[in-house]
């Protein structure tokens, strides 16, 4: 089972992660991870913090001579901002209850208040430092390793922004390949140039208004084999597992697969994908005439692209803050304003790619197992060959 856990506060010394279950023999370099970390840091509308950081990974364990060993992989991403925060975030005791740069006016929408109540804190900084989306840098680092594993099996993961604030992009009928090479050209990772310009203007307006913006990103997973995930038990369904992973991303409030909510209003005859003969061995020789299901039926991959959309709420740190209650005085007031982003929708797409990579890598290792990449590859090849041989023999390889 592939899994990872992360630790680290936003202004602590570093983010760390341990990623377990990656088979031995996968070639990986720091640059494979760093290129993804850079993508996460980019996007018009990020705050000043991204000018301070220059996220880069240090492999502490699990990799030798450019190859995974099959042992847990330990990763470290330093916070360069730590230098400015060491006195505030240092682990050494300061005297009971003493805190520097206390946050006592919780922001509506952030974890501040619920975290303070649940963890019996009086300083919301004890909560927000971990609730900060800074943690997603560690996820992206782990996801980059999973992505390398998936690339060995021809799986491509990409994303693009389809809505930012009120601006909705026109989605091209045919997505470019590779998707990210095109999307990363845009400051807001949007494939519709006219919409991208309006999105940038919308972000500028939000900056002027001291407000923030949310939006929608679409994640596309291509090159999957039929048969990942399973219909047999609720917790093995790949759609459920992907949706859960997407919803764990900070500020994500909605996830759709394929037609998603739009499908609810369609009649059945316009909601499903007709089956035809003529795909490749990876899909058992079958093909769908459309992909309304978003590449998943019965919790199992069909081999068509998996298409997910994630809705992100606007960032909850506002420079013109909403009403709140001061935790120290009990008086009504305005929420604390921390430095933050105006929007992070472009970055959210990159983080969603990383989480999707984790779930897919889990599903691949479950199905094709193996302590080593070579063992996993031979299991994969045997499965695909078996699918192709069985179904083309039965149907003569064509319609």
Residues near ligand EPS (CB under 6 A) are 10, 47, 49, 81, 132-134, 136-137, 315, 317, 338-341
Cβ proximity to ligand EPS: between 126 and 341 the closer is: 341
Cβ proximity to ligand EPS: between 101 and 390 the closer is: 101
CB of 341 to ligand EPS, least distance (A): 5
Cβ proximity to ligand EPS: between 15 and 373 the closer is: 15
Which residue carries 């491509």 as its tokens? Answer: 156
Please, are residues 235 and 251 in contact by the beta-carbon 8 Å criterion?
no
Tell me the β-bridge partners of 277. 286
What φ, ψ does residue 272 adopt, rounded to 5°? -115, 175
Cβ proximity to ligand EPS: between 134 and 160 the closer is: 134
Euclidean distance between CA atoms 369 and 387, whole angstroms: 18
Cα distance between the two ends of the chain: 39
Which residue carries 């699918």 as its tokens? Answer: 387
Look up residue 228 and give its two tokens: 């990942």
CB of 362 to ligand EPS, least distance (A): 24
Please, are residues 246 and 255 in contact by the beta-carbon 8 Å criterion?
yes
**Residues whose CB falls within 8 Å of the CB of residue 86, separated by 6 or more in sequence, listed in order:** 13
Cβ proximity to ligand EPS: between 88 and 182 the closer is: 88
CB of 81 to ligand EPS, least distance (A): 6
Nearest to 319 by CA among 342, 303, 302: 342
Cβ proximity to ligand EPS: between 10 and 180 the closer is: 10
- With 0-12 / 13-18 / 19 or more C-beta atoms within 10 angstroms meaning exposed / middle / buried, residue 26 is buried
CB of 56 to ligand EPS, least distance (A): 13
CB of 37 to ligand EPS, least distance (A): 10
CB of 44 to ligand EPS, least distance (A): 14
């Amino acid at each position: 089972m592939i899994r990872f856990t992360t630790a680290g506060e936003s202004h602590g010394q570093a983010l760390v992660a341990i990623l377990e279950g990656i088979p031995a023999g996968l070639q990986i370099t720091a640059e494979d991870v760093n290129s993804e970390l850079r993508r996460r840091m980019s996007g018009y509308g990020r705050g000043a913090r991204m000018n301070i950081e220059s996220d880069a990974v240090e492999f502490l364990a699990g990799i030798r001579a450019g190859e995974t060993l099959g042992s847990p992989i330990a990763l470290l991403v330093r916070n360069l901002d730590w230098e400015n925060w060491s006195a505030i975030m240092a682990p050494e005791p300061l005297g009971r209850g003493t805190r520097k740069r206390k946050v006592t006016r919780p922001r509506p929408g952030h974890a501040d208040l619920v975290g303070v109540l649940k963890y019996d804190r009086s300083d919301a900084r004890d909560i927000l430092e971990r609730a900060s989306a800074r943690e997603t840098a560690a996820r992206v680092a782990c996801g980059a390793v999973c992505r390398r594993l998936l690339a060995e099996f021809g799986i491509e993961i990409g994303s693009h922004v389809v809505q930012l604030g009120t601006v909705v992009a026109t989605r091209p009928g045919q997505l470019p390949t590779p998707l990210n090479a095109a999307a990363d050209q845009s400051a807001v990772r949007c494939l519709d140039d006219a919409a991208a310009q309006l999105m940038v203007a919308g972000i500028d307006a939000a900056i002027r208004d001291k407000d923030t913006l949310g939006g929608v990103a679409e994640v596309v997973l291509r090159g999957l084999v039929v048969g990942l995930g399973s219909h047999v038990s609720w917790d093995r369904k790949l759609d459920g597992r992907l949706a859960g992973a997407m919803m764990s991303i900070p500020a994500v409030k909605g996830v759709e697969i394929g037609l998603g909510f739009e499908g609810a209003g369609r009649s059945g005859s316009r909601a499903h994908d007709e089956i035809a003969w003529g795909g490749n061995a990876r899909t058992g020789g079958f093909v769908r005439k459309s992909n309304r299901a978003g590449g998943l039926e019965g919790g199992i991959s069909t081999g068509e692209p998996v298409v997910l959309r994630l809705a992100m709420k606007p960032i909850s740190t506002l420079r013109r803050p909403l009403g709140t209650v001061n935790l120290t005085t009990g008086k009504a007031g305005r929420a604390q304003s921390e430095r933050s982003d105006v929007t992070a929708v472009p970055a959210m797409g990159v983080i969603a790619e990383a989480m999707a990579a984790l779930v897919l890598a889990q599903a691949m290792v479950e199905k094709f197992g193996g302590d080593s990449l070579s063992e996993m590859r031979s299991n994969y090849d045997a499965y695909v060959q078996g699918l192709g041989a069985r179904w083309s023999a039965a149907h003569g390889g064509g319609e």
